[in-house]
Amino acid sequence: MEKVRIGMIGSGFASRLHGNSFRRVGGIEVVLRGTADISADAARQLAEEYGYEYWTTDYHELLKDPEIDAVILCTPPRLHAEMLCEALKAGKHVLCEKPLTGYFGKEGDPELPGLHVPKKEMLKKVCLDMERLEEVVNQSRCIFMYAENYIYTPAIQRAAEFVRAKKSIITYLRGEESVQGSPSAGAGYWKNIGGGTLLRIGCHPLGGMLYLKREQARARGEDFGIHSLVADTGMVNPGIPEAERKYLNAKPQDVEDFGTVTITFTDGTKATVFANDNVVGGIRNYIDIYCNDATLHCHITPTDDLETYFVDDDGLENVYMSEKLEQKTGWNSVFVSESIKRGYVAQLQDFLECVAYNRQPLSGFSLARMTGELIYAAYVSAEEGRRVFWEEVQSL
């Protein structure tokens, strides 16, 4: 059996999403070699929890380790680009968390760049960075994979199978990821994340929809491209009276907590992404696919696999129900097999197989680049109140 030896860089929330999937992949032996985190406690805890052989506070140790084939980047987004380049240079295959990169401020920027730096300047910088990263990835012999789990959800994989088989034309896609705030304290600041809810969570339905449209084009032997987009963003939470904000956790400082973008593809068809940080009742992830000859609803989470009604929550204190659910009593749609339904297992399986058998992943660089550039183009559209044409983005 082929063997892949893993180093985990960053030992927080996302590293556990991957960690929970390792024991569910098959056909390839996985060796959990090392974890790295600037917090010794975080690195040690993750290593102990999942059985990594060692931990370190310096990720360069993992990059130098000849017993590591591949690293998973689960660090804050502002670190991805540099870590990716270093890892590929060190001969390591890379699975990089989303977003691949973004605008995180530059020397001389005001404290809150999200409020003051023109979005067009940000888009230009992101496009240049993407171009540089693409060159690095293309010149490397290592595998690069972009961790877009939506692509690997069983619902979207099955939907893609139908679209391919029927050679359907997808006329409209509508996708949403909405949640009550972010688990990360720094999510309210542009300099940490590179944007707000549209980038942080809207990237998921966007990535899934771009994949579906690409699959349609492949099945029909057609070209796939973006024509233009129109977006709206807002900072809704601060406008709600403080006393009435008690169920809402979003704390946007210079980022949007609401974002929507409608994309027009070169064939004239459309897709709309919704992202919202002020949603109670648990995380909401779905993509609706409207075709010329079919309608498909991909319920990612929640689903109706298991509905529960509890009159009280005695004994449930440590029982997980679903992400960001406020209370466990009353009726709830509980997550079942979350790591499978949300695509994390199939994502890891694809990455391990790509490394073991030297093939390209479903979610590669072009998807990471298009997702990132589209979101920054959406920021320009929202700020300038106009349609942004893709030709303009490509010529920056």
Ligand X SMILES: NC(=O)c1ccc[n+]([C@@H]2O[C@H](COP(=O)([O-])OP(=O)(O)OC[C@H]3O[C@@H](n4cnc5c(N)ncnc54)[C@H](O)[C@@H]3O)[C@@H](O)[C@H]2O)c1
Interacting residues with ligand X (CB under 6 A): 9-14, 17, 36-39, 42, 59, 74-77, 79, 97-98, 147, 149, 183-184
CB of 126 or CB of 163, closer to ligand X: 126
Nearest approach, Cβ of 196 to ligand X (angstroms)? 12
CB of 113 or CB of 202, closer to ligand X: 202
CB of 55 or CB of 390, closer to ligand X: 55
Q: Is the dihedral of CA 347, 163, 204, 90 positive or negative?
A: positive
Nearest approach, Cβ of 391 to ligand X (angstroms)? 29
Structure tokens at 36: 């790295």
Q: Give the CB-nearest residue to ligand X.
A: 12
CB of 17 or CB of 355, closer to ligand X: 17
Nearest approach, Cβ of 70 to ligand X (angstroms)? 16
**Euclidean distance between CA atoms 126 and 103, whole angstroms:** 6
Are the beta carbons of 294 and 216 closer than 8 angstroms? no
CA angle centred on 105, ends 103 and 108, rounded to 5°: 150
Nearest approach, Cβ of 151 to ligand X (angstroms)? 11
Are the beta carbons of 258 and 201 closer than 8 angstroms? no
**Euclidean distance between CA atoms 20 and 18, whole angstroms:** 5
Nearest approach, Cβ of 86 to ligand X (angstroms)? 11
CB atoms within 10 A of CB 108: 5
Q: What are phi and psi of 189, to 5 degrees?
A: -110, 130
CB of 10 or CB of 302, closer to ligand X: 10
Nearest approach, Cβ of 324 to ligand X (angstroms)? 12
**Euclidean distance between CA atoms 376 and 357, whole angstroms:** 35
Structure tokens at 149: 């789990």
CB of 10 or CB of 282, closer to ligand X: 10
CB of 149 or CB of 333, closer to ligand X: 149
Identify residue 346 by its one-letter amino acid code. A
Nearest approach, Cβ of 2 to ligand X (angstroms)? 25
Describe the strand order of the beta sheet including 388-389 as a list of residue ranges.
295-301, 284-291, 170-178, 270-276, 258-265, 226-234, 388-389
Structure tokens at 291: 């075709």
